[in-house]
RNA sequence: GCCGAUAUAGCACAGCAGGUAGUGCACUUCACUCGUAAUGAAGGGGUCAUCGGUUCGAAUCCGAUUAUCGGCUCCA
C-alpha cells in the first residue's frame, strides 16, 4: 500500500505497520467527511484523526444526527470507495487556504489554520471533489478501504473543553479486508461478553438500584470477594509494618478548610449540616489520618508511621460519567498515609512501588507508571513541588521503573505516580497511586521531635494499591471474565448430588470441606447430573464434587474441574489437599 | 453536566399502520431418582420506567422527568 506525504513523497508499507494503519484510518476519516459533505452540505467539519483503534471525525450538524443518518453516510462512503479516488497533496498560501475555508463557511478549519505559525506552509489533500486542510500522510487511493463500519455516534466538545460547543463525533473503523473487519467486530463482542456489569449481574456480585445511582450494592457473593481482597490487603500491610485505623465518614467543615478540600475539591463533596454546623462527607481519608497523627506528640523514632485505612469515600460524580463499578459515587479506598522524615522519602516511595508490584503480580496484571506534575489549581510553593516531583523521579529511577510524564495532572496538594494496570485484553486502568505531599503537614501544623531535640515537619505520602476496591473488583471481573482463580472464587466447590439417596452424603462432604475452610455449596435438587454440571459451569465455580452411590460406597468424591474436566475420584482429604495446594501456589 | 440512543415479567427479547400484553430461560408444584454442559408436564408472575398530553381508546404517537447505554469533560 502506498502512503503519500505532504511533499508528495511516497512510501510503501503494509497495513500491519502502525504508520500505515494510521494513514489508512486517517484517510477513512476523510472519506467519512466527504460523504457527510455530499449528503449534508451545510455541515461544518472540525477534526478527524486516526486513533488507537480506528478513527473519528467531529462535525457540527444542523440537525440531530441519528442512526438513520449513520446508515446513509455509510452507504455514501461505499460509493466513494468504489469511485477509486486517488489522493494527492498540494501546498497553498495562507490567504488561499483561508479563502477556501471561508467560502465553505468552515469556521472550525479557519480556527485551526489560525493556530498555525505565520510562516508555516499549509498543505491540503484532495480526493475527487473533496479537499481538506491536512498535514497527512494519507494512503494513495480510496479503493483500498474495502471494509469499514461507523461504530458509534457521540458528543465531544470542540477542543475538548466543556465550555465550548458540543460537536457530533462519529467513530469508525476500517480495514483493507472484510475478514479483518469481521475479526475486529468479533473482538468487540468478546469485550462486551467480559463486561463486568454483565458478569457481575450473572454471578451475583453486585447490583445498582435505581434509587442509588453510582452507589453500588454488594450482593452476598460479591461481599465474599470483597472480604477476600480485604483479608489479603490486611495480610500484606501488617507484614509491611502498617497500622490500620478507621476515621469518620463525615467531619466538620473547618477540617476541610484546613486541608484545602473546601476550597479546591468542594464541587465533588457532599455536605450537610448538624446543629447549625457545616459537615462534609469525606471524598478522601487524608484529613482523618492527619487527626490521628496529631493525636499525640510524635518523635522521629515513630517514623515512618504508616497508617492504613479502608475508607469509604463519597464523591459527587456527574450522572453521565457513572460506569458500573469503575466509576461510582461511593467507594472503598485502600488508603494509607505515611508520615516520614525527608530522608525517608525515597525508600518509602520505593517500598510502596514494590508493594504495588507484588500485589498486581499476584493477579497477573502487567502495568505502567505515569508521573503527574503540578496542576493549575494547586497549593504550595514551586520549590516544594519541584522537590516532591524530583523525589518521585529519583525513587523510580533508582529501582529502574520507567514512567511517562503527565504535565499538570497531579493532585492539588502534590505530584503523584499513577499505576495503570493492563487487563487480559490489553485495556489499561488507573488504580494505584503514590502522592507526595508537603502541604497537608504544614496546613495542619504536623510536627515531630528530631534526634537533636528540634521540632521538624514530617512529609506525607498518600497511596492506594487497589485504588478503590469497587473498581478493582470490576477490573478483576473483566480480567478473569468471571472465572476467578480458586483463592478468589466466592464459591470454590459445588457438591453435586446425583440422586436423592446421595443427598445426605453430599451434605456430609460439604460440611467436611467447610470445616477445612473451603467455600462450598451443595446442589441437591432433583435434576439430572448433566443439568447441575452445566449450571455450576455457567456459574464458573472452579471445582465440582460429584457424589452418587459409587462415591458413598467408596467414601470418595468424583472431582471435576471448571477448566479441565473430569479428574477422577479421590477421598475428601485428598481433594482438600489438592485445593490447598492450588490456593498456596495461587 | 453535555451530545446521541434506550427503557415491556427476575434475565434475554418479541409485540408498534393506536383496539388495554407474548416467547425462551428462571420461579412454584407434580412426576421421574437419573453418572459428567439443558427430563417432562402443569401453574404463578407485568399499573409495558414515572408523570402529563393527543385520542372514543396509548406499551405503541407527542412532551417532561428519572435511570441506563455509547462517547466528551472529569476521575480511584
Q: Distance, angstroms, CA A259 to C1' B74?
A: 21
Are A432 and A577 contained in the same domain? Answer: no
A248 and A215 share a domain? yes
Domain assignment present for residue A194? The answer is: no
- Report how far residue A170's alpha carbon sits from residue A175's, in angstroms, rounded to the nearest whole number: 17
Which nucleotide, over all strands, has the C1' atom closest to the CA of A198? B11
Give CA–CA dist A226/A205, Å, rounded: 9
A303 DSSP assignment: P
Give yes or no: residues A232 and A167 share one domain.
Answer: no
Instruction: Please indicate, yes or no, whether residues A475 and A567 belong to a single structural domain of this protein.
Output: no
Nucleotide nearest to A157 (CA to C1'): B72
Write out pLDDT tens, residues A511-564: 999 999 999 999 999 899 999 999 999 999 999 999 999 999 999 999 999 988
In terms of domains, do A159 and A266 share one?
no
- Region of residue A440 (left: phi > 0; alpha: psi -120 to 50; beta: else): alpha
Task: Give distance CA A190 / C1' B25 (Å).
Answer: 22
**Catalytic residue set of A:** 286, 315, 333, 335, 337, 416, 462
Share of chain A above pLDDT 70, in %: 100
**Which residues lie below 8 Å from residue A493, measured CB to CB, with a gap of 6+?**
A510, A513, A518, A519, A520, A521, A541, A542, A543, A544, A545, A579
Q: How many CB atoms lie within 10 A of CB A34?
A: 24
Q: Is residue A76 included in any domain, yes or no?
A: yes
Total domains, chain A: 3
Structural element, H or E, at residue A547: strand A543-547
Q: Is residue A350 part of a domain?
A: yes
Quickly give A571 CA vs B56 C1' distance in Å: 75
Clarify whether residues A216 and A113 are in a common domain.
no
Tell me, yes or no, whether A266 and A180 share the same domain. no
Measured CA to C1', the nucleotide nearest A313 is B76
pTM of the predicted model as reported, rounded to 2 decimal places: 0.91
State the residue for C-alpha cell 478527524.
A48
In a domain, A540, yes or no: yes
Tell me the three cell numbers of residue A5: 506525504
Whole-number distance in Å between A368 CA and B18 C1': 58
**Distances in whole angstroms, Cα of residue A307 to Cα of each of A322, A395, A414, A571:** 30, 21, 19, 46
Which pLDDT score, from 0 to 100, does residue A95 have? 87
Kindly report which amino acid residue has its CA closest to the C1' atom of nucleotide B75: A327
Would you state the pLDDT for residue A486? 96
Mean predicted lDDT score pLDDT of chain A: 92
pLDDT tens-digit series, residues A78-101: 999 999 999 888 888 888 888 988
Does the residue A51 lie in any domain? yes
pLDDT score of A493 more than 70: yes
| A61, closest nucleotide (Cα–C1') | B3
Give the pLDDT confidence of A147-183 residue by residue, as tens digits: 999 988 889 999 988 888 899 999 999 999 999 998 8
CA angle A413, A213, A474 (to 5 degrees): 70
Chain B positions with an atom below 7 A of a protein C-beta are 1-5, 11, 31-39, 66-76
Does residue A447 contact residue A334 with C-beta atoms inside 8 Å?
no
CB-based contacts of A361: which residues, under 8 Å, 6+ apart? none
- Give the list of residues 6+ apart from residue A159 with CB closer than 8 angstroms, or none: none
Q: How far is CA A181 from the centre of its chain?
A: 26
Same structural domain for residues A143 and A170? yes
Q: What is the predicted ipTM? A: 0.92
Q: How far is the CA of A210 from the C1' of B57 (A)?
A: 32
φ, ψ of residue A171 to 5 degrees: the values are -95, 145
Q: Kindly report which amino acid residue has its CA closest to the C1' atom of nucleotide B66.
A: A210
Residue A216 lies in a domain: yes
Claim to verify: residue A362 and residue A417 sit in the same structural domain: yes
φ/ψ of residue A240, rounded to 5: -90, 10
Q: Which residues pair with A155 in a beta bridge?
A: A168
Domain range for A285: 199-479
Report DSSP letters for A501-530, one per residue.
Answer: GGHHHHHHHHHHHHHTT--EEEE-SSS-HH
Amino acid at each position: 500500500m502506498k502512503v503519500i506525504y505532504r511533499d508528495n513523497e511516497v512510501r510503501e508499507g503494509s497495513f500491519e505497520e502502525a504508520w500505515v494503519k494510521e494513514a489508512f484510518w486517517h484517510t477513512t476519516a476523510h472519506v467519512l467527511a466527504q460523504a457527510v459533505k455530499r449528503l449534508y452540505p451545510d455541515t461544518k467539519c472540525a477534526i478527524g484523526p486516526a486513533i488507537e483503534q480506528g478513527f473519528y471525525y467531529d462535525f457540527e450538524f444542523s440537525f440531530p444526527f441519528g442512526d438513520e443518518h449513520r446508515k446513509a453516510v455509510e452507504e455514501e462512503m461505499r460509493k466513494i470507495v468504489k469511485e477509486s479516488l486517488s489522493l494527492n497533496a498540494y501546498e497553498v498560501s495562507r490567504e488561499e487556504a483561508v479563502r477556501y475555508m471561508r467560502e465553505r463557511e468552515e469556521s472550525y478549519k479557519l480556527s485551526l489554520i489560525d493556530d498555525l505559525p505565520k510562516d508555516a506552509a499549509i498543505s491540503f489533500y484532495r480526493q475527487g471533489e473533496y479537499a481538506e486542510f491536512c498535514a497527512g500522510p494519507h494512503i494513495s487511493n480510496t479503493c483500498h478501504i474495502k471494509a469499514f463500519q461507523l461504530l458509534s455516534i457521540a458528543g465531544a466538545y470542540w477542543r475538548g473543553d466543556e465550555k465550548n460547543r458540543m460537536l457530533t463525533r462519529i467513530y469508525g473503523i476500517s480495514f483493507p479486508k472484510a475478514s479483518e473487519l469481521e475479526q475486529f467486530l468479533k473482538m468487540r463482542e468478546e469485550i462486551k461478553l467480559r463486561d463486568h456489569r454483565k458478569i457481575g449481574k450473572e454471578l451475583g456480585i453486585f447490583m445498582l438500584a435505581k434509587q442509588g445511582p453510582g452507589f453500588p450494592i454488594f450482593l452476598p457473593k460479591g461481599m465474599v470477594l470483597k472480604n477476600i481482597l480485604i483479608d489479603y490487603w490486611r495480610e500484606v500491610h501488617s507484614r509491611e509494618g502498617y497500622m490500620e485505623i478507621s476515621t469518620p465518614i463525615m467531619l466538620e467543615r473547618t477540617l476541610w478548610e484546613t486541608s484545602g478540600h473546601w476550597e479546591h475539591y468542594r464541587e465533588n463533596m457532599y455536605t450537610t449540616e448538624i446543629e447549625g454546623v457545616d459537615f462534609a462527607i469525606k471524598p478522601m481519608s487524608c484529613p482523618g489520618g492527619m487527626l490521628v497523627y496529631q493525636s499525640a506528640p510524635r518523635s522521629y523514632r515513630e517514623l515512618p508511621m504508616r497508617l492504613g485505612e479502608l475508607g469509604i469515600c463519597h464523591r459527587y460524580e456527574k450522572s453521565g460519567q457513572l460506569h458500573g463499578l469503575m466509576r461510582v459515587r461511593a467507594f472503598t479506598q485502600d488508603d494509607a498515609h505515611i508520615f516520614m522524615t525527608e530522608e525517608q522519602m525515597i525508600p518509602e516511595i520505593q517500598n510502596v512501588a514494590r508493594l504495588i508490584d507484588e500485589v498486581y503480580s499476584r493477579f497477573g496484571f502487567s502495568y505502567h507508571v505515569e508521573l503527574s506534575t503540578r496542576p493549575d489549581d494547586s497549593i504550595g510553593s514551586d520549590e516544594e513541588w519541584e522537590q516532591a516531583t524530583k523525589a518521585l523521579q529519583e525513587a523510580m529511577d533508582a529501582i529502574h521503573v520507567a514512567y511517562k510524564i503527565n504535565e499538570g495532572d497531579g493532585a492539588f496538594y502534590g505530584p503523584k505516580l499513577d499505576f495503570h494496570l493492563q487487563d487480559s485484553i490489553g485495556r489499561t486502568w488507573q488504580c494505584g497511586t503514590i502522592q507526595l505531599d508537603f502541604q497537608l503537614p504544614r496546613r495542619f501544623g504536623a510536627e515531630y521531635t528530631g534526634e537533636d531535640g528540634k521540632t521538624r515537619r514530617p512529609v506525607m505520602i498518600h497511596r492506594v494499591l487497589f485504588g478503590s476496591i469497587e473498581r478493582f473488583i470490576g477490573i478483576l471481573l473483566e480480567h478473569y471474565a468471571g472465572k476467578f482463580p480458586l483463592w478468589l472464587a466466592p464459591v470454590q466447590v459445588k457438591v453435586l448430588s446425583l440422586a436423592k439417596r446421595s443427598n445426605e452424603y453430599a451434605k456430609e462432604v460439604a460440611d467436611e470441606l467447610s470445616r477445612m475452610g473451603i467455600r462450598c455449596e451443595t446442589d441437591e435438587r432433583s435434576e439430572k447430573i448433566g443439568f447441575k454440571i452445566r449450571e455450576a459451569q455457567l456459574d464458573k465455580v472452579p471445582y465440582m464434587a460429584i457424589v452418587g452411590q459409587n462415591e458413598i460406597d467408596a467414601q470418595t468424591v468424583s472431582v471435576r474441574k471448571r477448566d479441565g474436566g473430569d479428574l477422577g475420584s479421590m477421598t475428601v482429604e485428598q481433594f482438600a489437599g489438592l485445593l490447598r495446594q492450588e490456593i498456596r501456589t495461587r
